[in-house]
Structure 1
Amino acid sequence: MHIHLLQHGPDYGPARLTDWLTSMGHSYTVFHLYDGELPPRPGDCDALIVLDGPEVLLNTPPVWYKAEDKLINRLLDSQKPLLGIGLGAHYIADALGAISALGIYPETGWHNVSLADESPFELPETFDAFMWHRYVFSLPDGALPLGGSAAAPLQGFSWDGGRVMGLLCHLEASQAGVKQLMGSQPVPEGRDDYTQADAEIFADPKRFDRLAPLLDRVLSQWLGHA
């Protein structure tokens, strides 16, 4: 399969996603929308991943958003797998009629996610994931929830039998990618109940390695609908 990835900022790369795609024999193309590249045509790929990006883009749509939103809607109307992470999940949720808004708390660092009783995701009942967000989204009509954390009760959703997925949490995060992000992007503002200092985030580097099998489960389940 050939996968297209839409990137929204230099510090919001695909991290482990491209390593996984390569290891599974898939090819991919990353479109750097923030750098002036145009979104691809829907017929040129077998699946689409919409990556994370600065949350300011939710309130200040970038010049490319109209074309990207059109592409997302075309994929929703197709039979092709569509995955959104962070900002990308917001964009897909919005296209499905859900609402994006400021959460009660910002959430950064490592937090535990508990699966919802009706969750279709093939993941452990509880697991740790990396978080970096202030905004949350509501559950789109017809979607099933992933589950939630203490700060964000909806950490993701599955729609159309799992062909379309959105993740607020980050299973693709790598230590190098998070260091780059934290070195250039401001920490989401708000109460610090669910934010972690740098030392706590990087205290156990193996935490990033433990994300790999979780990402494998989600991507395998997602592309299994192709």
Structure 2
Amino acid sequence: MHIYFLQHHASLGPARLKDWLDGMGHSHNVCHLDEAPPRLADCDALILLDGPQAEDAPELARERKLVERALKGGKPLLGLGLGARLIAQALGATVSRGTCPEVGWHALRLAPESPFDLPERFEAFLWQSRIFGLPEEALPLGGTAAGPVQGFAWDAGRVIALQCHLESTAESAATMLALSPTAFAPASGPSTHLQVPAEILAEPRRFDRQAALLDRLLAQWLRA
């Protein structure tokens, strides 16, 4: 398969996604925000990466149209962070600022009706301050203590949206944290849902453990 990455910030790249695709023999290209989006006929699937923009940012207008065409045209889509919120928005879900930003390692529990081939409980790296509801006809991934909808699958798993960053490595997570050292600071003071970079990066094996979860998820998505 040939995959196109839609990248929204120079420092927020595919991370471990690229390594997985290379290892499985899939080809891929990256389309940056200042470039014209790819034609759907030029790829077998799209992966929308995270970014610092709001979903209604003017510079995302062409991408929003591309997502709508992909949803209607049967093209496989995987969205992460901002990419997930663009998909949720295109499917009619409400996207808004969360009351409690989540940054760091958090336990996620699968929803009873979750279709994802993942453990019932696992730890994942989060970097988010915005949330979305569950689109109509979508099946939920599950949630954390502060975020009940951390992702969903739609159209029998052809479309997957994730708030958590299973693709992150220690290096990519450090880059993400450096982009917004104070952006997620709660107005009301310290929060148990926000971890400092030193705590997040202290145990690199955490990233290796979630890499195994990424393997399972990507295999399930491409089968669908």
TM class by shorter chain equals over 0.9
Cα shift at 1:188? 1.4
**Distance in 1 of aligned mates of 2:168 and 2:195:** 16
Q: Any idea what the Cα deviations from partners look like across 1:102-124, whole Å, max 9, x if unmatched?
A: 11201000000000000000000
Cα shift at 1:58? 2.7
Cα shift at 1:76? 0.4
Give the TM-score of the pair, scaled to structure 1: 0.94
Query: What is the one-letter code of the residue matched to 1:39?
Result: P
Cα shift at 1:13? 1.0
Q: Any idea what the Cα deviations from partners look like across 1:22-62, whole Å, max 9, x if unmatched?
A: 000000001111xx2111111110000011001x4235x13
Give the TM-score of the pair, scaled to structure 2: 0.95
**Distance in 2 of aligned mates of 1:79 and 1:96:** 14
SS of the residue corresponding to residue 91 of structure 1 reads helix
Aligned to 2:86: 91
Aligned to 2:203: 204
Aligned to 1:52: 50
Structure 2 residue 62 is the aligned partner of structure 1 residue 62 = no
Query: What is the one-letter code of the residue matched to 2:143?
Result: G
Q: How does 1:30-45 map to 2 (within 5 A)?
A: 30-33=30-33, 36-45=34-43
Q: Any idea what the Cα deviations from partners look like across 1:94-153, whole Å, max 9, x if unmatched?
A: 000001011120100000000000000000000000000010000000000000001111
**Distance in 2 of aligned mates of 1:57 and 1:38:** 19
Count of residue pairs brought into register by the alignment? 220
**Distance in 2 of aligned mates of 1:90 and 1:184:** 19
> CA RMSD of the aligned region, Å?
1.1
**Distance in 2 of aligned mates of 1:81 and 1:2:** 11
SS of the residue corresponding to residue 54 of structure 2 reads helix
SS of the residue corresponding to residue 177 of structure 2 reads helix
**Distance in 2 of aligned mates of 1:17 and 1:119:** 22
Aligned to 2:147: 152
**Distance in 1 of aligned mates of 2:177 and 2:11:** 9
Aligned to 1:141: 136
4+ aligned runs moved over 4 Å, structure 1:
none
Runs of 5+ unmatched residues, structure 2: none
Cα shift at 1:185? 2.3
